[in-house]
Structures are given as C-alpha cells and as structure tokens.
C-alpha cells in the first residue's frame, strides 16, 4: 500500500520517496508485524479458550501433561500479522514476492486444516493425507520454477535456474532436471523439519528467529548487484523485495515468542510451523543458497534426521537409536530441563546463522 502511495504521489509529496527503499519498508514490516501480534495474540488466546480449541498432549510425553489445554493454532495470529504487514509495505507487482506469499498461504491452509480437524475430533489428518496435500502444493510451486523460473547473473554471465552453487566455493554445477526434484525435497523437507522441531515451548520460534534473520541478510544481498559482484554470489533481479515479507515473519516470530516462551500460553500449531518452514526452504531456492540451507537450518535438519534415523532403525533392526525422537525429546529423556534444551538449541541456531553469513566471504 505505502509502496503504491510513493509511486503515485511522490511528485506531490516528496517525503513519500523514502518508501521506495527496501530497507525502510522491511524495517516497518517487522515493527508492524511485531506490534500486531502483541495486540492480536491475547485476544486470540481468549477466543481459543472460549471455543475450547486446546492442545491434546501425546500419552508418550509424560513430562508435558501439564500443558494439556494450552490453546493451539497461534500460527493464525502469526499469519495475520505477516499478511497485513505485507499488504502495507510489499510490492505486489514483484513476482518473487508473490510466489513466496502464495506459497506461505497455501501451506498455511494445509496446516490449518490439520489443526482444525485435530482440535475438533482429537486426531488430525492421517500422515498420508497430510503429505499428499503438501506434495500437491510443492509440485505446483516447482512447476512454476520449471515454466517461469528466472535466469540469474553470476560473475558477468547468465545461468538458468538449474545451476547450483556450493558454500565456500565459486563453482556452479548444472543439475538439469534433477534440480527440480531437489527443490521439491527442500521445500517439503523444510516445512516438515520445522514442524517436527515445534515440540518444546519456544523451540521452533526461537530457532526460526536466527534462521530468518540470516536469510533476510542473504536475500537483500542477492538482490543487490554491487554486493553480489563483490562477494561472488548469484544476482537475482528484484529478489530484494522478498526481504519485506521475511522481515514481517521476523517481527511476528519475535512477538509470538513473547507468548510462546516457557511456560507457553499458546502453541503455533501446524498452521504456523509448516508455512514458516516451507517459506525458508523456498526462499533459499529463489536466492540460490539451496545447499547453504543445510547449515543455516542445521537445527531443523538434525531434528528431522533424528526422526528418519529412529524410524529406519526400528523398522529394520527393531532397535531405537534415541530414547525418543525428535532429538529434543531424547535430551528430555536424558534428564535435561526443557528450558535448558531450548536455550541451547537457540545458541546453536545463532552460531549456525553466523557461520552461514560468514561463508559469503569465504569462497
């Protein structure tokens, strides 16, 4: 909205010129999103309590029984804050901005469906149905990249979007059609990795803060040809506008953590964790930092791997590698307090985010 005011009335009102700058609109998006969620969440908690939309805790999580009855679906408040901030400060003529916003909304709808059924019936969608919906959404996004994926500029030459780079190197590699399968795995994997991490108060929210903060920096750089030339990075035209959407996410997460920290007054649910994870994965693809995501989102990668290892080991050998998966529950079973696990995961997430940013200069 403010971007269009600048475009229409800048000749009459010179002060509107400031709204052309991505850094300014990103800052406002984050601030607006933060205060919106601080305002919305208490009212949302009251609404959820009134309608008895509360979380059912798994019988396997004895230490979490006291959390039964905590309102869920806080991701609706997160999504509302992000959407309003995006409308205020985003440029809806920007294709990168639209694809990220559209992907977020589609995954949010899939998460909402699962949460709503779970709260109404005590059990959500089956794993098969849940994955089928996510797969369809992911395929739609990948089809967009196949049909309309833009070329990018790297060291003075244009490359199509099937080329991929590795952290700490200057080389690019053409994966051909395999790239689209990799993109599919990244988006779907990121969505579910964050969802799996959302098992302790503030764990996913705080860990996402570091990851989103780092990816905002990476996205802004990717859209600035001066910085990309200096750092030997791919330049993606007009991608800097996505920073505004990511800043809205950052502000919403920071505000949500106010209520989601231990002891949590509300959980984000699938409607929050799934679209947030998918967005991080999607943006890493758009800015050509697909492999760096393994470092940037290392916490989520390890959490997902712990589940895969546990399931595989049990099915093949009838043995459990971890006392309980995902990994954060393993540490709980070892006797670590919830707060200590969460804060240590946050610390690791911050370190990984710093390594990811530092890697830009090491190549």
How would DSSP label each residue in 70-110? -B--THHHHHHHHHHHHHHH--TT-HHHHHHHHHHHHHHHH
Segment 307-324 shows an average pLDDT of: 90
- Closest to 240 measured CA to CA, from 20, 65, 42: 20
Buried-state track 204-228, b at ≥16 Cβ within 10 A, e below 16: bbbbbbbbbbbbbebbbbbbbeeeb
pLDDT: which is higher, 154 or 70 = 154
256 contacts: CB under 8 Å, gap ≥ 6: 37, 41, 74, 77, 78, 205, 268, 272
What band does 149 get if pLDDT is binned at 50, 70 and 90? confident
Percent of the chain surpassing pLDDT 90: 68
Closest to 41 (Cα-Cα) out of 70, 69, 74: 74
pLDDT in the model for residue 59: 47
* Beta-strand relationship, 157-159 and 172-174: unpaired
**pTM for this predicted structure:** 0.92
Mean pLDDT of all residues belonging to the chain: 89
Mean pLDDT of 242-268: 94
284-319 burial, b at 16+ Cβ within 10 Å, e below that, comes to bbbbbbbbbbebbbbbbbbbbebbeebeeeeeeeee
Residues in CB range of 262: below 8 A, 6 or more apart: 200, 201, 202, 338, 339, 342
State pLDDT tens for residues 87-101: 999 988 899 999 999
pLDDT band at 3, cuts 50/70/90? Answer: low
pLDDT over threshold 90, residue 10: no
Residue 156 has pLDDT above 90, yes or no: no
Please give the residue that has the higher pLDDT: either 33 or 14.
Answer: 33
Please check whether residue 207 is in contact with residue 353, taking contact to mean a CB–CB distance below 8 angstroms. Answer: no
Q: Determine the Cα–Cα distance for residues 306 and 321; give it in Å rounded to an integer.
A: 9
Distance CA 104, CA 191 (A): 10
Sign for the pseudo-dihedral over CA of 312, 318, 321, 324: positive
On the question of pLDDT at 30 being above 50, the answer is yes
Angle CA 299–305–309, to nearest 5: 150
Domain range summary for the chain, segments of one domain joined by +: 21-358
Measured distance CA(107)–CA(281) in Å, rounded: 12
Cβ density class 160-188: b for 16+ within 10 Å, e for less: ebbbbbebeeeebeeeeeebbebbbebbb
Backbone phi and psi for residue 359, each to the nearest 5 degrees, phi listed first: -60, -20
**Rounded distance, CA 201 to CA 213, Å?**
20
Please give the pLDDT value at position 100.
96
> For 174-194, how does the pLDDT look when each residue is reduced to its tens digit (9 = 90+)?
999 999 999 999 999 999 999
């Amino acid at each position: 909205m403010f971007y269009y005011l600048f475009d229409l009335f800048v000749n009459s009102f010179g002060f509107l010129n400031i709204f052309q700058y991505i850094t300014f609109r990103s800052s406002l998006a984050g601030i607006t999103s933060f205060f919106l969620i601080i305002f919305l969440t208490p009212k949302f908690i009251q609404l959820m309590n009134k309608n008895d939309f509360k979380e059912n805790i798994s019988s396997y999580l004895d230490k979490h029984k006291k959390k039964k009855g905590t309102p869920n679906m806080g991701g609706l408040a997160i999504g509302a804050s992000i959407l309003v901030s995006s409308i205020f400060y985003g440029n809806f003529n920007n294709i990168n901005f639209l694809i990220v916003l559209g992907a977020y909304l589609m995954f949010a709808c899939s998460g909402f469906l699962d949460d709503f059924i779970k709260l109404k019936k005590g059990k959500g969608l089956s794993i098969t149905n849940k994955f089928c919906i996510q797969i369809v959404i992911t395929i739609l996004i990948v089809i967009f990249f196949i049909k309309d994926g833009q070329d990018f500029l790297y060291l003075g030459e244009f490359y199509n979007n099937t080329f991929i780079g590795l952290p700490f190197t200057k080389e690019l590699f053409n994966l051909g059609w395999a790239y689209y399968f990799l993109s599919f795995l990244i988006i779907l994997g990121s969505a579910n990795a964050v969802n799996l991490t959302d098992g302790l108060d503030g764990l996913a929210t705080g860990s996402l803060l570091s990851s989103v903060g780092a990816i905002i920096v990476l996205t802004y750089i990717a859209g600035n040809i001066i910085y990309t030339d200096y750092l030997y990075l791919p330049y993606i035209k007009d991608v800097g506008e996505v920073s505004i959407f990511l800043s809205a996410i950052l502000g919403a997460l920071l505000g949500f953590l106010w209520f989601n920290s231990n002891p949590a007054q509300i959980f984000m649910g699938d409607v929050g964790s799934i679209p947030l994870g998918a967005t991080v994965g999607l943006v890493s693809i758009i800015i050509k930092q697909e492999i760096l995501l393994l470092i940037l989102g290392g916490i989520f990668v390890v959490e997902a791997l712990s589940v895969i290892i546990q399931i595989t080991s049990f099915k093949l050998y009838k043995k459990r590698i971890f006392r309980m998966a995902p990994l954060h529950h393993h540490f709980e079973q070892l006797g670590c307090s919830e707060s200590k696990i969460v804060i240590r995961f946050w610390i690791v997430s911050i370190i990984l985010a710093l390594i990811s940013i530092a890697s830009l200069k090491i190549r």
